[in-house]
Amino acid sequence: MGFLKKEKRTAVSVQTQGGYPPVLPVTAGERALYRALREQVPIIDAAIYKLVRLVGGFEVYCPEKHTENALRGFLKTVPVNGCNMGIDNFLSAYFEQLLTYGNAIGEIVLANGEIRALYNASLEDLEIRLISPLETGVFVVRDGRAEPCRYPELILTSALNPMPGSAVGSSILKGLPFVSEVLLKIYRTVGINWERMGNVRFAVTCKNEGYMNAGDRAGQLAKEWSRAMHGPGVSDFVAVGDVQIKAIGADGQQMDSEVPVRQMLEQIVAKMGIPPFLLGLSWSSTERMSSQQADMLTSELTAYRRILEPAVLKICKTWLRLNGLDDTVEIDWNEITMQDEVDHANAAYLMAKTEQLLKEGEA
């Protein structure tokens, strides 16, 4: 009598994986720095919000129409963070966190065997650890101790441009602190100079040659000058003798800040990947250059969509499985800009017009 051999299960191992850091190295101080950059440099904050809005929405498609309609209804009405509704709001916060910190974490909240809400988790209370070379775990920090999530299959995680062999993403603001510091230093200097030179101060010089009681005369002049400057309406100042009045700082020339400011802004715009005209920067550019910049932005947004799509698919497949439905689903992202739709419409019109002319010529 033969016996079946028991199937041996081998663990998956990665031969090229060495030691890896157990904890996400983005500290609270670094996250605070990125938040401060967004608060102090408005163009950085505006660029992130522009990217969040331009990434656009999507439509889901399923093999069966009734399943597709039910899934679309769920995505439009699912509660988000207790105050919003719809997966678009969840993805906006998720994508903003991803751009700012390099990692984003969300959670599918279950109740009574169904999805009741989607939650955007704060990185301040979490740690991301590599459990194995091919698995990333999220740990919750409570009372100084890190505890693993009980249901990791309900956790959504994404990383922006991680280094090879790491689940740690890179913030889009990485490399901007130095540039932003120089830019803010220029702005602060301009403000101080305007405070000194814009708020005009005067130097009153009185030559007291041949006059007795110079101190009393200087006091009288100071009193009369103060009355003329601070009195209501326009007032005249009358003095006897050789009196000279000069505006302090009137002869000083303020340094031109246009060139260095533009150099710093160019570095920021290049890092954010946003065309200058979308941020209100009226830099000279030709129509063709603007079109090429729009094409580059489309490529950037397409890359961001590829990072966000696995999280969207996980939400959709989880809902379908919990409801006993086929989890086959496809995601079709909307056109990024209206300009793309106009170009496609013009191309379709020209092709139809050409075909019509060809038919008329043959007739």
Q: What is the mean pLDDT of each run of 10 residues along the chain (363 residues)?
A: 50 48 58 88 90 90 93 94 91 94 91 90 83 80 81 90 80 86 83 69 68 67 73 65 69 69 85 82 63 77 92 94 92 74 70 86 73
Q: What is the structure's pLDDT at 267?
A: 86
Give dist(CA 345, CA 325) in Å, integer.
Answer: 37
Residue 316: inside a domain, yes or no?
yes
Residue 148: inside a domain, yes or no?
yes
Nearest-10 Cα torsion for 97, 23, 81, 102: 10
Give dist(CA 116, CA 80) in Å, integer.
Answer: 9
Q: What is the structure's pLDDT at 15?
A: 44
pLDDT digits (tens, 9 = 90+) for 82-118: 889 999 999 999 999 999 998 999 999 998 888 999 9
CB 23 within 8 A of CB 169: no
The number of angstroms, rounded, from the C-alpha of 77 to the middle of its chain's C-alpha atoms is 26
Residue 262: inside a domain, yes or no?
no
Total domains present in the chain: 1
**Degrees, nearest 5: CA angle 258-263-264:** 100
What are the residue ranges of helices labelled H in 231-275? 258-272
Residue 259: inside a domain, yes or no?
no
Q: What is the structure's pLDDT at 69?
A: 94
Q: What is the structure's pLDDT at 93?
A: 94
Nearest to 47 by CA among 208, 173, 206: 173
Residue 210: inside a domain, yes or no?
no
Which residues span the domain enclosing 99?
A: 19-173+279-348
Give dist(CA 12, CA 8) in Å, integer.
Answer: 13
Q: What is the structure's pLDDT at 17?
A: 47
Looking only at Cα atoms, what is the longest distance across the chain? 136
Q: What is the structure's pLDDT at 321?
A: 93
**Degrees, nearest 5: CA angle 200-206-212:** 150
Tokens at 24, concatenated: 């996400």
Amino acid at 2: G
Residue 130: inside a domain, yes or no?
yes
Residue 151: inside a domain, yes or no?
yes
3-class DSSP state of 207: strand
- The number of C-alpha atoms within 13 Å of 274 and in the hemisphere containing its C-beta is 24
Q: What is the structure's pLDDT at 61?
A: 94
Q: What is the structure's pLDDT at 30?
A: 83
Nearest to 25 by CA among 143, 158, 171, 142: 171
Q: What is the structure's pLDDT at 5?
A: 52
Residue 91: inside a domain, yes or no?
yes
Residue 8 is classified by DSSP as P
Q: What is the structure's pLDDT at 24?
A: 43
Q: What is the structure's pLDDT at 279?
A: 81
